[in-house]
Structure formats: structure tokens, C-alpha cells
Structure 1
Amino acid sequence: MGRSFVVSYSYGVSSVGSLGRVGEACQAHAAKEARNSTTTTGPLNSSDPIGKRKRPRLEEQIPRDDATSRKRSRVGRPRKDQTKVHSVKSREEQVAAPPAVLNEVPQEILAIFVFGTGENGELGLGPKINEAQRPVLNPFLDPSSPTAYHIVDFACGGMHTVALSTSNRIITWGVNDNGALGRKTDWEGGLRDVDDESDNGEDAELNPLESTPKEIPAKHFPSGTKFAQVAAGDSCSFALTDTGLVYGWGSFRDSQGNNRFGYDTNGKIVKIQESPVQIQGIPLITQIVCGDNHALALDIKDNIWAWGYNEQNQFGRRLFGRRQDSFVPSQVRVCRGKAKYVASGPYHSFAIDRQDNVWAWGANTFGQAGESKSAGKDSAFLPSPVKIRHLCQKEVTVLAGGAFHSAAITVGGQCFVWGRTDYGRLGVQFTPEQTQDEDNIRCDDRGKPRICLRPTAVLNVGHAVDVACGTDHTLFINKSGAGYSSGVGDQGQLGLGAEDEIEVATLIKAKAVRDRFLVRAGASGNSSIVAAVARDS
């Protein structure tokens, strides 16, 4: 779900050439019956169920002004016999200067191709189409159509997508149960039964306000606001402006199903934020990314900020005392003043510092955070950031995280993957020598490879330029504009047709993208996006 680019000043999937993406993280997913079940327990020997995820049913910023005191100086006070002289500024001088532009607004128009399940409108193909097993050009986002939205950036969340258009509009589609779309989607038609097998791809009646890409009303943002990046979590969304402000909406959700977004201006708890509000308590930002239920932001002084839920130490530290409120943004204690990029999986986080060291923290059950000692243990997580030493000084430019696996791309086009190996998540066919290397592969009690402990190169995708990790699948884009996929594909999320799983990264040959130059990828739980450069009109 998550993914991002390193730029000179920060990160920027989401323009997963634009800034920051994440997005693309999706931990909560519904499941089929467990595959390859064993009599042993624990993550190393378990098989998590994989399958359809139904629409969630759960219900549910403090601007703080730091008081500053100034001592009045006696120096320079006029004597009683002196006359005070007041300078008069011109009207032009009294007008405040506009905020400095920090973040570049993406300009390249993208053709958006979607595939996978759309049972809750995730594909954005309108109310009549709820699946696509191979890539389909979204007609509402077609660069050749004068009436369509022309997209320059996008981010995939758990069951929704956020995009930025050339007209500076924030476009959303998908599930809106917890305010993730940032706009009203009330529909008299009600909800369809996702278990009703009589509903096929052509006859399905979805909520047209969720299943069709629509813009968030401009009234929610100050006049003149320009956006540079978008990010999406499981049920939360964010947009970064060119001047470094962050707007957010939706909700974070903990493991007990409790929703919470933050506080209103009166300090009252907000469970679900249905429309965009400016995030308070953070300095000017150059990059924003999301896990499932936490957000990370990189500021202009190269510090990292985090807020949301911290149940698996996604913030890289425990919360105590005055700093125990996880919904008040606080600094992550890594790369202070030295970070240049951040990225996130659903419940683990990444950073790259100015010395080109790669750091990770948070959930590590299957080694997805890149630390081998705790990988395979129940509820394993990294309480504080640690270096992924096999990636340090390799000039990593992109990082992405799935539920139990992760990926990275270097400036030279090498793609590395690590974490859970089964169902083809990593897209690598391990050799016998690799499998027998206990420093590289950890096997279960039956001797079956389960965890790749060390970042391992994906050799058959060519010179990689982008990678996106869904819950249990991975998409790769190479320098030649071709797309590859691997992992769980029973919902069509690989773009390869009806394939339960693909072990090795495989070329996406669909007719719709056969002669298109792909540049971006995004992945959710059971749906995916690949984006191509728009054709000249």
C-alpha cells in the first residue's frame, strides 16, 4: 500500500515524480479459510486467511498556541523631552507576503488503469462495474477526455483512493464508512449484499457517490490553496500543500475497532472527521505518508512527526507522561535534523537519513521491518528505529510496505524485497542455496521457507523505477514502462486474470496497457492501480 520517492528535500508516492505515496498500506483485510494450516501455532508456522474484505461497520487538532513572554528593554526608550517618530508604511508594505513555496506541484498527467475487486466501489468505475481482472482505463480519469479529471498524483488506501487533478482538486472514490473520502456520499439506494452471488460484475448496483471519482468541495480549503501530494491510510486521507500545510480527514482505528481522528479547536475528541481540516501542531511539511492507522510527516528541518495509533510502535517509541497522547503530533526519535525521506507499511515505518542510512521500526512479525532476530515471533515489533544494514549506503530511492513484506528500489534500479515469502508476495523464486542459508531464509517446522530475513534482489523485472506493496501482493514498474506483479491474485489484484497466486514477478500483458508507458503503481488489499504517461492529444 505504501510507497514513495526520495526527492532533494524529502519524499514524495505519493508522487509514488510527485511527492510521497503510501500509501498504499492495507493491514486489515478479510480472509478466506487458512491455507496450508498446520497443527503448530505462532506466526512462523501459521497461514493467515486471505480473501474478500467486507465494508467495515464501525462507528466512530488541537491548535496549540505556545505562549511567549518578552522582557521589555529599557534601552532605546525615548526621553521625556524627545519626540517619538512613527514610521508610516505604504499599503503595499503592510500586505503580508505570500507563503514561500516549499513543495513542487506535480505536472505530468497520468492515465489511471485499475484492476481487482470493486465490490465497494474501490475501482472507481461507477455503480455498474464491481470487478476487473485485468487493467482497465478508468473513464472518469481519462486524460483524453475533456470532461474527465486529469490526475497528476494518487495514493491507495485500504479500500479507497485519493488523487490530485491538474485543476488542483482532490478526487476520491471507494469506501467512505469512516469519512475517508472527505465528502458526503449519502445515497438512498442503500448498500448491496457483498455475499449475494447473484450480483455479477455488470448488474451490481453500487453507491454512485462512492464508486465514481468525485472532487472534495473546494469550500473546505482556503482560497488559493495549491496541493502537491496526497496520502491514504486504511480509513484516513491527507493532502499536502505547496506551502507545507497538511489537511486531513477520515479516521484512525485501533485493534479494538475504536475510531478517532484527533481534536477540534475546542479540544473535544473527534472520532470521524468527515471533511478536511488543517492538521495543527506540526511545522511546515515537505512529505506526508500513511500506514493503516498512523501518519508520518517530514518537516522543513528534516525532522519526522507522527500521530494516530501507536499500538505496534509505529512512532518508534513508547508514549509516556505528557507525550502519551498519540493524536497530538510528536517527533519520531530518529534522524533528528537529518531525515530526507519517510515511508510506511500498514504497521511499520521507514526513514532514510542524509548519510543514506535506512531505518525501520514498528511491526516485525515476519521481518517486514528488516530486523531478523525478532522475526517469526508472536507480536514481534521494533520499539525503536534500527538500521537495515543491507540497504544502508545503497542509495535507496523508493520504499514500500505491505502487511508482512516490504520492498526497496535503489537509484541504480535494483529492487530488493524481504519479509513473508509464501503466496508469492516477494516475487522471487529462491534458489536451493538461498533457502539453505539460515541468515537469509527462516523456515517453518516443515522446512518450508516462510521469512526472507535479508533484502533480496528481484532479478526478472529489469531496471526498476517504482514498487507498490498491497496487503499480500506486489507491483513492480521498470524503466522501460512495463509492469509486473506477484502474490495473491484471487480478486484480480495482479492484473493477470483469475490467478489465485503468482510466485514469481510476472509481466502484466493486458491489452489496455500493452502499448502504454507505465510510470507508477499503487496497491490496496484487493485492488491495484498502474499509471501510464498520458498520450499526446
Structure 2
Amino acid sequence: MKGKRRVADSAAGVWHCSHGHVPGQVLAVGQGDVGQLGLGEEVLERTRAALVRLPAPVVQVEAGGMHTVCLTENGEVYTFGCNDEGGLGRDTTEEGSETTPGRVALPKPTVQVSAGDSHTAALARDGTVFIWGSFRDNSGVIGLLEAWEKSVAPKQLHTTEAIVKISSGNDHLVLLTLSGSLLTCGCGEQGQLGRVPERFTNRGGRGGLARLLVPQAVRIKGSGRLKFQDVFCGAYFTFALTSEGRVYCFGLSNYHQLGTQSPVSVFMPQVTAGFQGSAVSWVSFSGGQHHSLCLDSTGCALSWGMGTNMQLGTGEEDDAWSPVQMRGKQLDGHAVLAVSSGGQHTMLLIKDQS
């Protein structure tokens, strides 16, 4: 995938994923009723992209279901939005504090973040991962590191190998290891873990919630030793790219979002051709619950799907069933570095205007 490469950290002796981290400014658009836009208590929605004030240039922004996570160029993490399950990872007892960016206390500088509906994860330079909040299934909270237990502050997620990239769906987390393996944890009801048969997805079956919450490797039968080089998550699905350029997918595909012919969930990884053969190269994509965004190699941000809450950034509430280009004063004349979509809001990272 263009714009993503692996680089060595000679000081730490650990490899990590470089995501083209160019410092920029954050824009927000869509619904902000619980503070997920980061624009303060008075701003409940925005039909056009608005600037979010942060104390330092930002290199990554991730929209969770109802919260947002920003990573600054100095490795600090700022969050805002809904904190009901601890997804902000910080104290929000002061009235209104969840509606503006606040720093998360982490023991190590962060190089990448990811966000789901009620959980957030942070990858440190040495390959360790910290996580907070909770995973949920259709019946409610299932826990985070332990069954039924959520965490309102960051906790380390222990793995036997260094992690080079993290990616979150609504309620699942995917970890790419140094050797090219995939580890998954969280809810598996729609097949998004890629390693739990359908009969065991209801809270782990006989194995209990540990089957879901403890990160375990994704295995692909008959494929030998596959080495993955990148991974992306939508709300309820996962895409993984191998070093040979093959794309594997698993999870929900009721709107053919996996590129599969049949609109049914995929519980074990299979190859998809649905995102191949394009004349342009895709730098990244992000899937919300009912809308999607993609960024191509020319710097264009495209959006499609449900637009009821203005999350497409067109200034209208109409749905769009094919990609349309975002418009707005804050976007005019500025290159878009990255995009991320939540349940009803969209965040953009644009090239610094200074």
C-alpha cells in the first residue's frame, strides 16, 4: 500500500510501522452531541468541516463510534467525546471536559493510535500496546482484558512479540506483529476476529470470554506461513494485506463491504478481489457503521453511504451511493493527509496551514 512502509528504530532495536506521519491540523464534521467533534459544549453538529484546537501539531486522528483520538508529533495522545465505558482514558468528571481535547497519561511515547466504539488503543515505539475502555457485543459489555471488566485508564496489553501496527473496528482490535502475524481480540459475532468459528462467537462458547479477549493468532488453512504487511478494520470487518499483495478479508459483509459476492458474514479469512484493479492507488480507507471514506494517492478524500447526520461533509443530509468529493472553506487549497469516520462524525487531518 502506497504511503506505508516499515522503518527501523536502531536505538530501540524494534521495527514499527511508519504511516507517513506529516504534522497537520484536525478538522471535524458531522454530529457532536456528546463532544466527539472536540469543539466544545455548544457545538452539537457541523455541516462543514471545522478546525479543532489542539496544543501541538497532529500526526494521526482516529474517530471512534462516539469519541475521537488525536496523536501529536511529540507522541502525546488527546481524546474527546463519549466516556461512558472509559474510551477517553482520562478523568472527565469536570462538566464539559469531555467536549474538548484532553491528554491521556501514558507511560511511553506513542507512535500510533486506534479507536472503536468504546475502546482505544495506543502503540508505543518499543512495540508495546496500551488499551482502555471496553469491548461490547449485541448484549452489552464483555470486558477488555478480563471478562466483564472495563478500564477507565490505559493498561498494557501483553503479547509475546513486538507489535508494529494496530487497527480497531467497533468492538475488535487487530495487531500486526514484527514477524508478520495477525493477532485479534474483542467481539467476534460478525466474524471480525477471523479465528473464531460462528458456533463459538456467542461470548466464546465453552471457552468463555477468554477465547475472545485474549489476543490470539489468525490461522489460514492450507496457506503455509503467510506474512502480513498491513491491516485495516471497518466497523465489523477486517482486511489484511500479505507481503505478496494478496488481500484477505473476514467479518460482516451484508452490504458487500468485503467485496464478496454473497451478503453474508465471513468467519474465516478468504481472499477478496473487490478492492483490486483500480487505476489509482489507495493510501487508506476507513469504514463507519453506514458510511465509508477513502483517500487516494492524489490527496482527494472521497465519501459515500448514509449522509443523514452530515457525516459526508458535502453540506447536505442526502445519502450518496457513489463517492463524492468533500467541499468546504477549511478544505479549499489544502491537501488532506488522512481521514477517519465514526458512527455519525468524520475527522480529517489536513496539511498545516502555518
Is TM more than 0.5 here?
yes
Post-superposition offset of 1:130: 1.4
Equivalent of 1:121, from 11, 35, 38? Answer: 35
Equivalent of 1:522, from 303, 324, 340? Answer: 340
Equivalent of 1:136, from 50, 62, 65? Answer: 50
Counterpart position of 1:413: 280
Counterpart position of 2:57: 150
Decide whether the 8 Å contact of 1:181 with 1:250 is kept in 2.
yes
Question: Which structure: greater strand fraction?
Answer: 2
Counterpart position of 2:137: 254
Counterpart position of 1:312: 190
Q: How does 1:118-517 map to 2 (within 5 A)?
A: 118-138=32-52, 140-141=53-54, 148-187=55-94, 207-217=95-105, 220-221=106-107, 225-263=108-146, 269=147, 271-317=149-195, 318=197, 325-334=211-220, 336-373=225-262, 375=263, 380-391=264-275, 413-414=280-281, 465-517=283-335
Q: 1:389 to 1:115 in 2, by over 3 A?
A: closer
Q: 1:486 to 1:369 in 2, by over 3 A?
A: closer
Q: 1:313 to 1:113 in 2, by over 3 A?
A: same
Post-superposition offset of 1:168: 1.8
Equivalent of 2:24, from 110, 127, 146? Answer: 110
Q: Is 1:100 aligned to residue 21 of structure 2?
A: no
Q: How does 1:31-110 map to 2 (within 5 A)?
A: 99-103=12-16, 107-110=21-24
Counterpart position of 1:440: none
CA distance in 1, matches of 2:6, 2:11: 21
Question: Which amino acid in structure 2 is aligned with residue 326 of structure 1?
Answer: L
Decide whether the 8 Å contact of 1:340 with 1:353 is kept in 2.
yes
Post-superposition offset of 1:6: 7.0
1:332-358 CA-to-partner distances (Å, cap 9, x unmatched) read: 113744111111122221111122111
Post-superposition offset of 1:276: 0.4
Decide whether the 8 Å contact of 2:26 with 2:61 is kept in 1.
no
Question: Which amino acid in structure 1 is aligned with residue 169 of structure 2?
Answer: G
CA distance in 1, matches of 2:24, 2:337: 9
Question: Which amino acid in structure 2 is aligned with residue 213 of structure 1?
Answer: P
Question: Which amino acid in structure 2 is aligned with residue 370 of structure 1?
Answer: G
Q: 1:132 to 1:179 in 2, by over 3 A?
A: same
Q: 1:208 to 1:302 in 2, by over 3 A?
A: same
Q: 1:369 to 1:474 in 2, by over 3 A?
A: closer
CA distance in 1, matches of 2:139, 2:319: 31
Post-superposition offset of 1:479: 4.3
Deviates more, 1:361-370 or 1:516-525: 361-370
Post-superposition offset of 1:273: 0.6
User: Aligned to 1:325, what secondary structure does the other structure show?
Assistant: helix
Question: Which amino acid in structure 2 is aligned with residue 181 of structure 1?
Answer: L
Quick check: which has more Rg, 1 or 2? 1
Count of residue pairs the alignment pairs up? 340
Post-superposition offset of 1:104: 5.6
Decide whether the 8 Å contact of 1:476 with 1:485 is kept in 2.
yes
If the length of structure 1 is used for normalisation, what is the TM-score?
A: 0.59
In the TM superposition, structure 1's runs of 4+ consecutive aligned residues that sit over 4 Å from their partners are 104-107, 319-324
Post-superposition offset of 1:321: 6.7
User: Aligned to 2:98, what secondary structure does the other structure show?
Assistant: helix
Post-superposition offset of 1:186: 1.3
Question: Which amino acid in structure 1 is aligned with residue 70 of structure 2?
Answer: A
CA distance in 1, matches of 2:332, 2:133: 36
If the length of structure 2 is used for normalisation, what is the TM-score?
A: 0.87
Mark the runs of 5 or more structure 2 residues left unpaired by the alignment: none
User: Aligned to 2:320, what secondary structure does the other structure show?
Assistant: strand
CA distance in 2, matches of 1:155, 1:312: 22
Q: 1:277 to 1:487 in 2, by over 3 A?
A: same
Counterpart position of 1:40: none
Identity %: 28
Mark the runs of 5 or more structure 1 residues left unpaired by the alignment: 11-96, 142-147, 188-206, 264-268, 395-409, 415-463
User: Aligned to 1:179, what secondary structure does the other structure show?
Assistant: coil
Post-superposition offset of 1:493: 1.1
CA distance in 2, matches of 1:474, 1:322: 35
